[in-house]
Amino acid sequence: MTRRKIQIKKIENTTARQVTFSKRRRGLFKKALELSTLCDAELALIVFSSTGKLFDYASSSVLQVIERQNLELKNLGKMDQLALDLQLENSSYTSLSNEIVEKTRELRQMKGEELQGLNIEELEKLEQLLQEGLSRVLNAKDKRFVEEISALERKVTQLMEDNRRIKQMGNLFNIKTHVIEHGRSSESITNICSSADPPQHHDNDDDTSLKLGLPFSN
């Protein structure tokens, strides 16, 4: 006699449903025990009946298995974030690489290289860019010339002012030297004259002695 295949759908009979629930629950927990024992697996089963009653089985602890699951989910989220970040970095790297290639090509074209594949419109655009660049270069050069000329003019003005002050100091030094030398010469002449003339009072005494017929005494 073949075993009749049970159709998988909700059992409407309440008693039959409770009996089937008890049998299937015990069989499920038995399979969980065999899986845990044979394969050294850590697992937990939580079952609520239609009446709200809780049934559970765990190889170690239900809370421990749930905490491990949360940790794995957290690590999985980190891995997903790292994968997303890596994907964004790769995308950014690819974009930057393409931009570098494009800018390098534009630079070569502005130097007059790799112009074979350009059409008339692109060549005109490149010509306009070169003209604008040349205009900016000329403006920058003129500005630098003006700045250097102004700096030289300020330097010349400063040198002229320094030269004027040096001349004034030299003239003042010459005047002081002349005054000092002139003063020393006058003093020397006065000293020489004073030492050459004898004292007048000695001559008067000698003349008086001679006139009176008195003997001359030194």
pLDDT higher than 50, residue 54 = yes
pLDDT band at 182 (very low <50, low <70, confident <90, very high): low
- pLDDT, residue 169, reads 85
- pLDDT, residue 147, reads 92
- pLDDT, residue 83, reads 75
- pLDDT, residue 14, reads 87
pLDDT higher than 60, residue 128 = yes
Rounded Cα distance between 45 and 161, Å, is 100
pLDDT higher than 70, residue 94 = yes
Q: Are 54 and 48 in contact (CB under 8 A)?
A: yes
Number of H helices, E strands in the chain: 4, 2
Among 53-57, 138-142, 194-198, the minimum mean pLDDT is found in: 194-198
What is the percent of the chain with per-residue pLDDT over 70, rounded to a whole number?
A: 80
Integer CA distances (angstroms), 91 to 41, 81, 105, in order:
40, 15, 21
- pLDDT, residue 28, reads 93
Among 39-43, 60-64, 185-189, the minimum mean pLDDT is found in: 185-189
Write out pLDDT tens, residues 183-218. Answer: 655 555 455 445 444 545 444 444 544 444 445 444
Helix (H) or strand (E) holding 187, with range, is helix 120-196
pLDDT higher than 80, residue 111 = no
Q: What is the mean pLDDT of residues 143-158?
A: 91
Rounded Cα distance between 126 and 133, Å, is 10
pLDDT higher than 60, residue 4 = yes
Q: What is the mean pLDDT of residues 84-97?
A: 79
Q: Are 105 and 114 in contact (CB under 8 A)?
A: yes
Q: Are 110 and 129 in contact (CB under 8 A)?
A: yes
- pLDDT, residue 63, reads 87
Q: Are 27 and 4 in contact (CB under 8 A)?
A: no
Identify the residue with better confidence: 131 or 207. Answer: 131
